[in-house]
Amino acid sequence: MNLSPLQKARYAYKPKLPGMLRNGISEICVKDGAATESVADQDKIKALFPNTYGKNEITFEKGTNTSAAKKQVVGVILSGGQAPGGHNVVCGLYDAIKATDKNNVLLGFKGGPSGLIDDDFIEFDDEYIDAFRNTGGFDIIGSGRTKLETEEQFKIVTEVAKKHGLTAIVIIGGDDSNTNAAVLAEYMAANNTGVQVIGCPKTIDGDLKNEDIEASFGFDTATKTYSELIGNIERDANSAKKYWHFIKVMGRSASHVALECALETQANICLIGEEVAAKKMSLSAIADYIADAVEKRGNNGENFGVAIIPEGIVEFVPEFSMLIAEINELLAGKKTEEFNALPDWDSKYEYIKKGLSKEAFDVFKILPDFVQKQLFLERDPHGNVQVSLIESEKLFSALVADKLKERKANGSYKGKFAAQHHFFGYEGRCAFPSNFDADYCYSLGYNAFMLIQYGYTGYLSKVSNLSKPAEEWVAGGMPITKMMNMERRNGEDKPVIRKALVELDGKPFKYFCEHRDEWAVKTAFTYPGAIQYFGPSEVCDLTTRTLALEKG
């Protein structure tokens, strides 16, 4: 295999561990913290997780290791979308397993949770692991989105675990994947299988966090990757001085990625879905907000700018959410086949007009033609609109263009408006992890094995104090049930990890609010540049602006 110079250099990088994990396995002991309860619906969550609910948070400290010695055979899976650093979680887990006892075994199950069901695995050795250290991607064993949630699946996984003598399973994933980890842990405990289940917090969207989980891994690298690209576009815009760039970034259910990129680049406009929902902003109001900045800049002779749009923004717009809900009902069940059988768009348009309420159709008819059609593309597995397919960056530039035509006609707008469109998503999911993510992920994996060694199950590997140098990071674990509440999913109440949204009273959003009016009108762009792997710590180990602001 031909390697780039950067690949060779990254293989040689030695990830930094928290101080208490650097002393050697034999010098790590446990400090018990307080008992926990779920974030909401305590009685219901406790009833569903009688064997794993209410356990103590724990931290690891320097001291004599009191865990019982036994051979460990651990299975690991990568679940859900890719995030930079996933390979280092596996590498940290492997190194801790082998440091404890070279006869311990780590099995990687391929293709995500389905690998556990299909018994498709590889036994890791030094040579295989070394080829993936500090690299991006999930290609070490692949990933998948199969959910582990049925009794039948749990029985199969139990049999696979028994066949290989598994003592533990580590699930590396986001909120849904770690919800599955909690349910699987409860099943294994209830049935006395002896198999522990540990989760690791992954998602570039940044919505798997709370007071304990300060950041999900991959967020740092992904947002730095997007911010480099946005900074490059800002420089180009400031050079050509003739385009407004509308840039959609990842973040279906929360706007953390958009906010971080705005803080990094000081773009003229950044929409925050949580604010749109709180203020009940309409599509027209959002378009006016962007058009105000375009007008002011254009009248100053600056016919260019950058607007950052979160991927899931339209779901936060109340009138659009109502429209989507009605469309989902309109095409429920076999009605989708009936709709798709109509001969052309005109007949489909009439079908839509008859099927929607007046309020919903009033929203539908102001949408550009291409967005109207995108709402009726292929449905998701539950028969719902696939919001991620909506080109919201083009939607808002079209709505802004209409607003500016009106303003041109009444004489208030003197400038010129031309738009370019971008979507940054996959570009950030498999990048070479930043030093922060390389260190953080390696620590999460190493720490996950310490939780296994001490007999914990239904816990999330936790590394905190992340705004400080790695030496000062604190390793430990928290029961996954602490993050859970009940939500309505597909007509049923289900226990799930609550997604962390952008907090409108939080320090990152407040800082953004203090500066956005100035950034909207002035050309105050900053250019983060590429992720730096070599050089002074203040450059190479830099945390996200979000984490720095949250932790002061």
Catalytic sites, residue numbers: 205
Amino acid identity at 71: K
**CA 184, 187, 189, 192 torsion-angle sign:** negative
Residue 41 near residue 48, CB atoms below 8 Å: no
- Pairing relation of β-strands 305-310 and 244-249? parallel
Q: What is the enclosing helix (H) or strand (E) of 245?
A: strand 244-249
- Cα–Cα distances (Å) from 376 to 285, 334, 432, in that order, read 25, 14, 37
Separation between Cα atoms, residue 74 and residue 161, nearest integer Å: 9
3-state secondary structure of 547: helix
The whole-angstrom separation of Cα 199 and Cα 463 is: 12
Longest dimension (CA), the chain: 80
- Classify residue 139 as exposed, middle or buried by CB count within 10 Å of its CB (0-12, 13-18, 19+): middle
The region, left, alpha or beta by phi > 0 then psi within -120 to 50, assigned to residue 357 is beta
For residue 344, give the amino acid letter: D
CA distances to 66, 233, 428 from 527, in Å? 50, 9, 17
Distance CA 271, CA 255 (A): 8
CA distances (Å), 27 to each of 67, 224, 449, 451, in order? 11, 36, 14, 14
- Who contacts 448 (Cβ-Cβ below 8 Å, separation ≥6)? 89, 92, 93, 96, 170, 198, 200, 461
Structure tokens belonging to residue 532: 């730096």
As a whole number of angstroms, the distance between CA 168 and CA 11 comes to 28
473, 465 Cβ separation under 8 angstroms = yes
